[in-house]
A and B are shown apart, each in its own frame.
Chain A
Amino acid sequence: MTDHDRAGLLAIPEPGDITRLLEAWGAGDGRAFERLFPILYPELKRLASRQLRRERPGHTLQTTALVHEAFLDLVGQCRARVESRSHFLGVAAFVMRRILAEHARGRAALKRGGGVAPVELGEHPAAERGGIEEIVAVDQALDRLEEIDARAAKVVVLRYFGGLSHDETAKALGVSSVTVKRDWAVAKAWLKRELSAT
């Protein structure tokens, strides 16, 4: 993560660059994503950490609100076209997956500390399990889903890690809303089975 920080610090991006990269990614340029990721990562990480530090139960900031704040910081309101924002949400979802998985792994390790079973767990294997454990498990299972159904895995990244709605997901992926719905149903069932099996 220090590498990303350094990248963020050294190569402070121009808003125009980001817009261009977002458009390129929207047009299917895979390399654009590779360049966008290190730009978005430090910004989203900063915002997320700040938020997590002062989190209050019942006052959770929505994922999209968080991402939108990053978007405003990086791109700015006036210069951005509507598509750019939608693309930004798409890229940000992948960034958020990385940030949240890292965060969750750290927290889960802390929870397991000393090898004592957490008092709160054990009653409801999957459903009641803390959000943290679920995030780690979903992140790991998602790697396997990608191998057999890449688009369904993307839908999960956008919906679950990116906090996007069905329609936003459809727009970001350039597919129909029905497709997203079907992918989502399949992916949920598949992941549920994967998580229950472990």
Chain B
Amino acid sequence: MSQASWQQVRSELLAALELTAQEQRERLAVLRAATPAVAGEVEALLAAAKESADFLEAPAWERASADTGSEAAPERVGPWRIEAEIGRGGMGTVYRAVRDDDQYQKQVAVKLVRGGMDAGFVLQRFKAERQILANLEHPNIARLVDGGVTEEGWPYFSMEYVLGQPIDKYCTTLGVRERLELFRTVCAAVQYAHQRLVIHRDLKPSNILVSADGVPKLLDFGIAKLLGADVAGSGEATATVWPLMTPEYASPEQVKGEAVTTASDVYSLGMLLYLLLARKRAYEIKTRAPEEVARVVCQQQPEKPSALTDRPLSRQLRGDLDTIVLKAIRKEPARRYQTVGELSEDLRRYLAGLPVLARGDTVAYRAGKFGRRHKAAVVVAGLLVASLLGGAGVAVRQARIVERYHLRAEKRSRDAQRLANSLVFELHDAFADLPGATQPRALLLKRASEMLDTLAADAPEDPVLAEEVAAAYHKLADVLGSQAEANLGEREAALSARRKGLAIRERLAADAPGDLSRQGRLAESHITMVGALQGLEAVEQARRALLITERLLALEPSSAADQRLWARALYAEGSALVASGDLPAAKASFEKATAAFEALLAAAPKDASRLRGVSMAHKRLAAILAKQGELPAALAHYRKVVAWDEARAAESPTGVEARYDLSVSLVDYGWALARSADQAGAIEQYQRALGIRETLVRADGGNVRARDGLASVLARLGHASIAAGRHRDALAYCQRAEETLGAQTQNRDLLPSIYQARSESYAALRRWDLALSSARTALQLGSASLASEPTNTSFGIRVAWEQLLLGRVLLGLASQPGRASGAAALRQEALAAYREAVRLATDLQAAGALPVDDLPLIDQARAGLARCERLQRSTAHTAGAAVRRR
């Protein structure tokens, strides 16, 4: 273009820029008549000027420095050799790479955080993405291959390298049905991510590549988010991430910085579907100015996809597909499809010619749909409907009455709900730590329980109400019979309440797999089930809790609540494993649990519940060490435990729980001392525990656990006294223990233990008759326990010891002078008892369920057996000699 004509173009352009659109058109028309070349140029420049509001306004320097990273691409990252840069975003750079050693030709995409970027935020997001990908294994999601740290110390990870086209480009050659099928495959991948608590938040064509063989793959979880994590600190996180999103696919809630849910991905998918079907976006956003983006996204109502297309496509889209797309991209999240699955299902229904759910159930609509499937039948049906129309007025009136009734019923149910919650949560909590309150608390909970059953029977649809009912069941169970709180020994009622609560939470969690807090509460339920069950059932519950908590923690590693839940799940697993006899596995669980609780305590050293957690976990670990014969290690743990518990008890002088915990620790410490042959030390610790427990029982006589606890420490004092050779003391302790033990005792281990101690004391005092009757009672009680829980190996071990004791006492009695007449029968019975002891002990050992500590059982039982056989041989010999003499 010549200088002269440019000057004319320039001045025409400047003049036109001052005019309205109409005036511009008129002026251009005049100009076109005179100099068409100039008019054409001016028209093109005017069009360009309209689109250049933001153009060049950001200085080049600022653009260059916003383009992150300025160094050259690294040559290699981990085992990968970088071939080329394939993408770059606010979060890092993506390279195509191959294995450096060329062992096998495998291409990957390596994502790398580069030096200089805002370390904290970017690193955090980067790690989150890596973690999120690690949890996603789906054929339609680009897979995580490996991850690590570069030589410079920057984190990287590699993903499956997807060679393909963005889905919108790929779709240009496909028909509507094929597009819908492809889109449904994408939906399945997104739904899979949602089920793993991940929202993608940046679904758009360039993040969904379709390979040459037609497989779509979801990429770029760079700003993906853990569901439910918005609850805390939503504003900050969303505001930081917002500028990274693509406005055309961002939902109104994302643009406004509100909580993002799975419905936000539904929206983005809806926008994608719009583009795939109409081949145009619902609206173009010309600028990145936040106000304008917000205005368009939040206010502008998109046209129906069919309105943007020409026939014949528009005819295909009109109706169901319009409706489905518009439902997916509604401005209000609550009015969209609630899950990606629903959206996909509606498309499936469309493809199958079924009525879609997006539209309400209007009669005309259903009839129309039905008609297309069964053209002949509909004519007949139409006649029938017409004949029925006479009665329609009545039906409408009745519907109104029913509706009014429902509203009233719903209100009443809410009132009852509120009352039940008030009873369970407010009043119960007010009573909770008050000595002497066990009875009124139980009555309160019985009433609340009845109310809850009524409420749960109506199966509240409202998840908030449902969760309240579940929580109330758990609270009820706690008071009714868990090991963790004072109770009246109604184990079965407690277990039943707990199962009801668990069932509700399972349903709630399944209804919304992405709701993080629901998952957490489900884990909580599983954990509390562990204490109420035995054997493998308990282990199974603990494992379920662990699975959930590990997943939660993987997604939000810094959440203290999740860490605590995880630590508790580990603790529960350890407890369940101990009960099922797998000590090595239990030890591993408790080691993890102690580390987890210690990390929590380090963050809040005075927190009573963390102190309790750390102390409990150490206590359980110490118990296992002691059982495995590692006594010095166990004692070291116990001393720490006692110190922590004393600190806690000193903090809350009226608290029942802290004092009870301290007494338990003292008992356990004493027990370990006894195992180390320090009987005097053991008795000293037991007596300290005795003092605490006597006070607790005096304060709340109705508390079964307090009574059991007191009896237990008395029985232990009995055993320790025997070991110290103080048999009369032992008998006195046993007597007190049996008197203390109420009829409602939960500790089925205790009474046999008391009789065992008694039998041993009598035997030592050579009171063989009394020793025998006590030994028989002990065996009878122990066998009954074992029969009720055959998998409980500690019951099995006890019965073996009881058989051994019985054998010993029988032999002792048989060897008494003046017993000659019945001696043979006694010896015969002793032989049987020893045989049974050997059988039980060897079975347990074969199953790996015999702790080191109980190993002497086998030797002693075999020695007893041998002695019996020797005695029988010698008596037979003597008898034979006598016969010969006679």
Q: Which residues of A approach B to under 8 Å, CB–CB? A: 48-49, 51-63, 66, 96-97, 100, 103-104, 107, 110-111, 113-116, 118-120, 122-123, 126-127, 130-132, 134-135, 138, 148-149, 156, 159-163, 182, 185-186, 188-193, 196
Task: Select which of B61, B86, B89 is within 8 A of A63 by beta carbon.
Answer: B61
Task: Select which of B1, B14, B62, B286 is within 8 A of A62 by beta carbon.
Answer: B62
Provided the pairs A130-B88, A135-B63, A149-B10 are in contact, do residues A193 and B45 lie with their beta carbons within 8 angstroms? Answer: yes
Residues 200-244 of B contacting A (Cβ, < 8 Å): 204-206, 219-220
The answer on a CB contact under 8 Å between A122 and B13 is no
The answer on a CB contact under 8 Å between A103 and B70 is yes
Task: Select which of B116, B206, B246 is within 8 A of A55 by beta carbon.
Answer: B116
Residue pairs across A and B with Cβ atoms less than 8 A apart, 22 shown, are A49-B70, A60-B61, A62-B59, A100-B64, A110-B72, A113-B85, A114-B83, A116-B84, A118-B86, A119-B87, A120-B89, A120-B206, A127-B55, A131-B58, A135-B63, A138-B60, A148-B3, A148-B6, A160-B56, A162-B59, A186-B45, A193-B47
A155 to B55, CA, bound (A): 14
Contacts of B181 in A (CB 8 A): none
4 tightest A-B contacts by CB? A131-B63, A114-B84, A119-B87, A113-B84
A contact face: mostly helix, strand, loop, or mixed = helix
Q: How far is the CB of B122 from chain A (nearest CB, A)?
A: 8
Question: Interface size bucket, B side?
Answer: 35 or more
Contacts of B56 in A (CB 8 A): 138, 156, 159-160, 188, 191
The answer on a CB contact under 8 Å between A135 and B64 is yes
Contacts of A96 in B (CB 8 A): 60-61
The answer on a CB contact under 8 Å between A119 and B86 is yes
The answer on a CB contact under 8 Å between B116 and A53 is yes
A97 to B62, CA, bound (A): 13
The answer on a CB contact under 8 Å between A120 and B68 is no
Q: How far is the CB of A25 from chain B (nearest CB, A)?
A: 22
A186 to B52, CA, bound (A): 11
The answer on a CB contact under 8 Å between B116 and A54 is yes
A96 to B68, CA, bound (A): 18
What residue in chain B is nearest A193 (Cβ atoms)?
A: B48
Provided the pairs A52-B65, A123-B204, A135-B63 are in contact, do residues A110 and B117 lie with their beta carbons within 8 angstroms? Answer: no
What residue in chain A is nearest B163 (Cβ atoms)?
A: A116
Contacts of A48 in B (CB 8 A): 61
- Extra inter-chain contacts (11) besides given A111-B85, A116-B86, A132-B63, CB under 8 Å: A52-B65, A53-B115, A56-B117, A107-B67, A131-B58, A131-B66, A131-B67, A148-B1, A148-B6, A192-B49, A193-B44
The answer on a CB contact under 8 Å between A119 and B219 is yes
Best-buried of A66, A113, A192 by chain B (most CB within 10 Å) = A192
Provided the pairs A118-B86, A186-B10, A190-B48 are in contact, do residues A134 and B63 lie with their beta carbons within 8 angstroms? Answer: yes
Provided the pairs A62-B62, A66-B61, A161-B60 are in contact, do residues A119 and B52 lie with their beta carbons within 8 angstroms? Answer: no
Contacts of A188 in B (CB 8 A): 49, 52, 55-56
Contacts of B85 in A (CB 8 A): 110-111, 113, 118
A62 to B288, CA, bound (A): 20
The answer on a CB contact under 8 Å between B86 and A185 is no
Residues 668-696 of B contacting A (Cβ, < 8 Å): none
Provided the pairs A54-B116, A110-B73 are in contact, do residues A132 and B86 lie with their beta carbons within 8 angstroms? Answer: no
Q: How far is the CB of B65 from chain A (nearest CB, A)?
A: 4
Provided the pairs A100-B61, A163-B59 are in contact, do residues A127 and B54 lie with their beta carbons within 8 angstroms? Answer: yes
Contacts of B426 in A (CB 8 A): none
The answer on a CB contact under 8 Å between B64 and A196 is no
Contacts of A127 in B (CB 8 A): 51, 54-55, 286, 288
The answer on a CB contact under 8 Å between A189 and B49 is yes
What residue in chain B is nearest A149 (Cβ atoms)?
A: B6
Is B166 engaged at the interface, CB distance under 8 Å to the other chain?
Answer: yes
Residues 529-561 of B contacting A (Cβ, < 8 Å): none
What residue in chain B is nearest A122 (Cβ atoms)?
A: B206
The answer on a CB contact under 8 Å between A120 and B63 is no
Contacts of B83 in A (CB 8 A): 113-114
What residue in chain A is nearest B206 (Cβ atoms)?
A: A123
Q: How many A-B residue pairs have CB under 8 A?
A: 167
Q: How far is the CB of B562 from chain A (nearest CB, A)?
A: 30
Contacts of A107 in B (CB 8 A): 64, 67, 70
What residue in chain B is nearest A134 (Cβ atoms)?
A: B63
A57 to B241, CA, bound (A): 12
The answer on a CB contact under 8 Å between B48 and A122 is no
Is B118 engaged at the interface, CB distance under 8 Å to the other chain?
Answer: yes
What residue in chain A is nearest B64 (Cβ atoms)?
A: A100
The answer on a CB contact under 8 Å between B87 and A118 is yes
Contacts of A126 in B (CB 8 A): 55
What residue in chain B is nearest A187 (Cβ atoms)?
A: B56
Task: Select which of A100, A116, A189 is within 8 A of B48 by beta carbon.
Answer: A189
Q: How far is the CB of B231 from chain A (nearest CB, A)?
A: 26
Q: How far is the CB of A165 from chain B (nearest CB, A)?
A: 10
Task: Select which of B14, B17, B73, B246 is within 8 A of A123 by beta carbon.
Answer: B246
The answer on a CB contact under 8 Å between A111 and B65 is no
The answer on a CB contact under 8 Å between A161 and B84 is no
The answer on a CB contact under 8 Å between B59 and A116 is no
Provided the pairs A160-B56, A186-B13, A189-B48 are in contact, do residues A55 and B65 lie with their beta carbons within 8 angstroms? Answer: yes
Contacts of A120 in B (CB 8 A): 87-89, 206
A113 to B85, CA, bound (A): 6
Q: What are the interface flags for B1-22 relative to A under an 8 Å C-beta threshold, 1 for contact and 0 otherwise?
A: 1010010001001100100000
Contacts of B68 in A (CB 8 A): 55, 57
Best-buried of B65, B204, B205 by chain A (most CB within 10 Å) = B65
Q: How far is the CB of A61 from chain B (nearest CB, A)?
A: 7
Contacts of A190 in B (CB 8 A): 45, 48
The answer on a CB contact under 8 Å between A132 and B67 is yes
Best-buried of B13, B48, B51, B90 by chain A (most CB within 10 Å) = B48
Contacts of A55 in B (CB 8 A): 65-66, 68, 70, 116-117
The answer on a CB contact under 8 Å between B166 and A122 is yes
The answer on a CB contact under 8 Å between B48 and A192 is yes
A148 to B3, CA, bound (A): 6
Contacts of A132 in B (CB 8 A): 63-64, 67
The answer on a CB contact under 8 Å between B67 and A130 is yes
The answer on a CB contact under 8 Å between A185 and B14 is yes
Contacts of B637 in A (CB 8 A): none
Contacts of B246 in A (CB 8 A): 123
Contacts of A182 in B (CB 8 A): 14
Provided the pairs A118-B85, A119-B219, A185-B49 are in contact, do residues A53 and B59 lie with their beta carbons within 8 angstroms? Answer: no
Is B259 engaged at the interface, CB distance under 8 Å to the other chain?
Answer: no
Q: How far is the CB of A81 from chain B (nearest CB, A)?
A: 25
Contacts of B48 in A (CB 8 A): 189-190, 192-193, 196
Provided the pairs A188-B55, A189-B45 are in contact, do residues A135 and B118 lie with their beta carbons within 8 angstroms? Answer: no
Q: How far is the CB of A167 from chain B (nearest CB, A)?
A: 15
Contacts of B118 in A (CB 8 A): 56-59
Contacts of B288 in A (CB 8 A): 127
A63 to B68, CA, bound (A): 17
What residue in chain A is nearest B69 (Cβ atoms)?
A: A55
Q: How far is the CB of A16 from chain B (nearest CB, A)?
A: 28
Q: How far is the CB of B224 from chain A (nearest CB, A)?
A: 16
Q: What are the interface flags for B74-88 relative to A under an 8 Å C-beta threshold, 1 for contact and 0 otherwise?
A: 000000000111111
Is B94 engaged at the interface, CB distance under 8 Å to the other chain?
Answer: yes
A156 to B206, CA, bound (A): 33
Contacts of B6 in A (CB 8 A): 148-149
Contacts of B462 in A (CB 8 A): none
Q: How far is the CB of A179 from chain B (nearest CB, A)?
A: 11
What residue in chain A is nearest B205 (Cβ atoms)?
A: A123
Contacts of A193 in B (CB 8 A): 44-45, 47-48
A96 to B1, CA, bound (A): 29
Task: Select which of A123, A160, A189 is within 8 A of B59 by beta carbon.
Answer: A160
A68 to B246, CA, bound (A): 35
Contacts of A54 in B (CB 8 A): 116
Contacts of B87 in A (CB 8 A): 118-120
Is B291 engaged at the interface, CB distance under 8 Å to the other chain?
Answer: no
Is B423 engaged at the interface, CB distance under 8 Å to the other chain?
Answer: no
Q: How far is the CB of A55 from chain B (nearest CB, A)?
A: 4
